Amino acid sequence: MPGLVEPTKETTSSTSFRTALEGAADVRSEQPTNHETDCHQEIAATEATSEEQLAEQFANTFEPTNGVSYEWVCGYAKECYGTIQTAFKELEDKASSAITFLGSGAGLLTMGAAVAVANPSVDRTVAEWSIPSIIAALVALVFALKSRWTMACTYPPPINEAIALANYAITEERSKAIFAAQIHQCVMKMLPVLARKAFWVEWCLRLAVVAVVLMLLPLFAALSIPRKPEPLPIPAAKTEEPVKIG
């Protein structure tokens, strides 16, 4: 959402929202506001999709109709944005859990394979068949880390811009309507971010399942190796005790 400025006395009710915002465009280009920063830290802007561009255009040009109640629209918009934030947090939690599970699992598998190779009594084939599971776990771990990389997130206007919006709208109903349009813009810009994160988390979980299944390969390899017959024990020589006479 572009920066907001309070309307001057010459500004009429027919003035578009975009026109009222043009005064702060130069200031915003030099110093971005907080609600377009990354979910963790600062991040570079990504190319906007056609849906995002349409949402931005709608948010900048939308003008409420007098006499229409937009209270429920504003509530619905906030509910939609809350759903996006909840889904974003759930994906973050899934990725964090996967990183913990896959990191420890891949480490244990690697240590077990190293011990099997160093042990002369264990066939090397058993250790070799554990490599596919280790590779799948490591790739899944990379996907989980990829989902945790910084992504561009869009947040609703900060308090100072919300105040400027209220000053521009004048009435409460107009403020709610314009604010709903701004939240719609945030939702449309967050959907691609959520889709990218969901893509990496989904493939991480798929590969985690593959890694668990591949853990059975070393067991199958151990069962398929024919056991060498154990040498028969050599019977000890029997010694007869001398017979005592008398």
| Rounded Cα–Cα distance for residues 82 and 77 (Å) | 9
Question: Is residue 121, in this structure, part of any structural domain at all?
Answer: yes
Q: What is the number of domains present in the chain?
A: 1
> Is 151 in a helix, a strand, or coil?
coil
Question: Is residue 13, in this structure, part of any structural domain at all?
Answer: no
Domain extent at residue 192: 52-224
| The token pair that represents 145 in the structure block | 């880390």
String of DSSP letters for 58-114: HHHH--PPTT---HHHHHHHHHHHHHHHHHHHHHHHHHHHHHHHHHHHHHHHHHHHH
What is the per-residue pLDDT for 217? Answer: 84
Q: Sign of dihedral through CA atoms 1, 175, 179, 35?
A: positive
> Is 39 in a helix, a strand, or coil?
coil
What is the per-residue pLDDT for 150? Answer: 78
Q: Which residue ranges of the chain lie beneath pLDDT 70?
A: 1-49, 226-246
| The token pair that represents 25 in the structure block | 């465009």
Do 116 and 212 meet the contact criterion of CB atoms below 8 Å apart?
Answer: no
Question: Is residue 166, in this structure, part of any structural domain at all?
Answer: yes
| Rounded Cα–Cα distance for residues 60 and 31 (Å) | 19
What is the per-residue pLDDT for 235? Answer: 66
Question: Is residue 168, in this structure, part of any structural domain at all?
Answer: yes
Question: Is residue 211, in this structure, part of any structural domain at all?
Answer: yes
Q: Sign of dihedral through CA atoms 43, 48, 54, 60?
A: positive
| Rounded Cα–Cα distance for residues 60 and 63 (Å) | 9
The answer, as to whether pTM is greater than 0.75, is no
What is the per-residue pLDDT for 232? Answer: 62
Phi, psi of 157 (to 5 degrees): -60, 145
Question: Is residue 140, in this structure, part of any structural domain at all?
Answer: yes
What is the per-residue pLDDT for 32? Answer: 39
What is the per-residue pLDDT for 22? Answer: 47
Exposed/middle/buried for 79, CB within 10 Å: 0-12, 13-18, 19+? exposed
Please enumerate in sequence order all residues whose Cβ is within 8 A of that of 175, keeping only pairs 6 or more positions apart, or say none: 165, 166, 169
Question: Is residue 118, in this structure, part of any structural domain at all?
Answer: yes
Question: Is residue 202, in this structure, part of any structural domain at all?
Answer: yes
| Rounded Cα–Cα distance for residues 208 and 103 (Å) | 11
pLDDT in tens, 55-77: 888 888 888 888 888 889 989 99
Closest CA to 36 of 193, 164, 210, 154: 154
Phi, psi of 82 (to 5 degrees): -65, -35
